[in-house]
Structure 1
Amino acid sequence: MYGIVNKAIEDLVITNFGEEKWDAIKERSGVDIDFFISSEPYDDDVTFKLAIAVSEEMNMSLSDVLIAFGEWWVIKTTTEKYPGLMNSGGDNLRDFLVNLPNFHNRVMLIYPKLTPPEFKVSDVTEHGLNLHYFSKRQGLQEFVRGLLQGLGKMFNSPVSLELIQSRDEGSTHEIFKINW
């Protein structure tokens, strides 16, 4: 993952809990990197070590950490650093989600070494859809849940989410049923 991801985890912790807590998390994680360069790729293991250390240090489940980080990623990181990119996705939650399959094509112009997930939509209605999430990375469906909740907040459109298919249960990908 790119350094911007790890930097966003750092920003989330420092903003909400302070620099000392971030130092404790870094020490617990065993990640010996002084600062993250947003445009540089890092091994996925770095990001997972940080997330696990946040979970342990904050006495939170890893699922809750990933959800909180997903929301932060949308509400703070992408909307502040890439407002044009976020605005290009659509004027409302429905349009943004319908356009999501093409979103990472634009992101790859900024981060060419990105290994992005793939999204597909199905069963689109006026107030809901099914979002299919495909990724080479395991264990990030709760991060995606947080992203979707963050998008709901960004568009001032409360969402209800149900994971109706998961790789944890033998499927090839996750499917989220989303209603707003």
Structure 2
Amino acid sequence: MNKAIEDLVISNFGREKWEAVKERSGVEVDFFIGNQPYADEVTYKLAQAVSDEMEMPQAEVLQAFGEWWVLKTGKEKYGGLMQAGGQNLKEFLINLPEFHNRIMLIYTRLTPPEFQVTDIEENSLHLHYFSKRQGLQEFVRGLISGLGKMYDCPVTIELIESRLAGHDHEVFKVNW
């Protein structure tokens, strides 16, 4: 995720802006390695620094990172896996739990979130997001939005349950 943040900032705003973000964040990493795990604190510091530097709400920053991850990082690094996920958005979301199982075979030190799909209908479903990491629900919203764009399928995403509201995980209602 940190590599995706770096790539997003550099691609859209240039290396100077990335250096300003790194300095503001206090993160002392010269460059991020894509398959290297980093402490969550690093991600949160970078997200906040981008938010401050770009004068954007952190929720928007996390959503942008999520979309970027799908449309750029995911396609480039996991193209075959992304394509194998399904022929359309609905199929991909239903197969999302299996996608992370495959990723864990590649990156054995990774602790990915878990997803569960319920309430499947013709044009909607509920996507349950379970993670040890707090505060990334807007990143997940961005991932879902990015998947909608990847499949050329407009989506609306509603957060219907949240850990902030006392639940044990997040639930998104995804409509297309």
TM-score (norm 2): 0.98
Of 82, 91, 103, 1:86 maps to 82
- Quote how far apart the aligned CAs of 1:81 are: 1.5
1:105, 1:64 → 2: CA distance? 28
- Quote how far apart the aligned CAs of 1:90 are: 0.5
Q: 2:28: which partner in 1?
A: 32
Q: Does 1:102 align with 2:98?
A: yes
Q: 2:111: which partner in 1?
A: 115
Runs of 4+ in 1 over 2 A off after TM superposition: none
Q: 1:174: which partner in 2?
A: 170
Q: 1:136: which partner in 2?
A: 132
- Which range moves more in the overlay, 79-88 or 34-43? 34-43
Gapped runs of 5+ residues in structure 2? none
1:117, 1:56 → 2: CA distance? 27
Aligned length: 176
1:85, 1:153 → 2: CA distance? 17
Residue identity matched to 2:148: G
SS in 2 for 1:82: helix
- Quote how far apart the aligned CAs of 1:39 are: 2.1
Q: Does 1:73 align with 2:69?
A: yes
- Quote how far apart the aligned CAs of 1:103 are: 1.2
SS in 2 for 1:125: coil
TM-score (norm 1): 0.96
- Quote how far apart the aligned CAs of 1:110 are: 1.4
Q: 1:154: which partner in 2?
A: 150
2:37, 2:174 → 1: CA distance? 31
How much identity, in percent, do the aligned residues show? 68
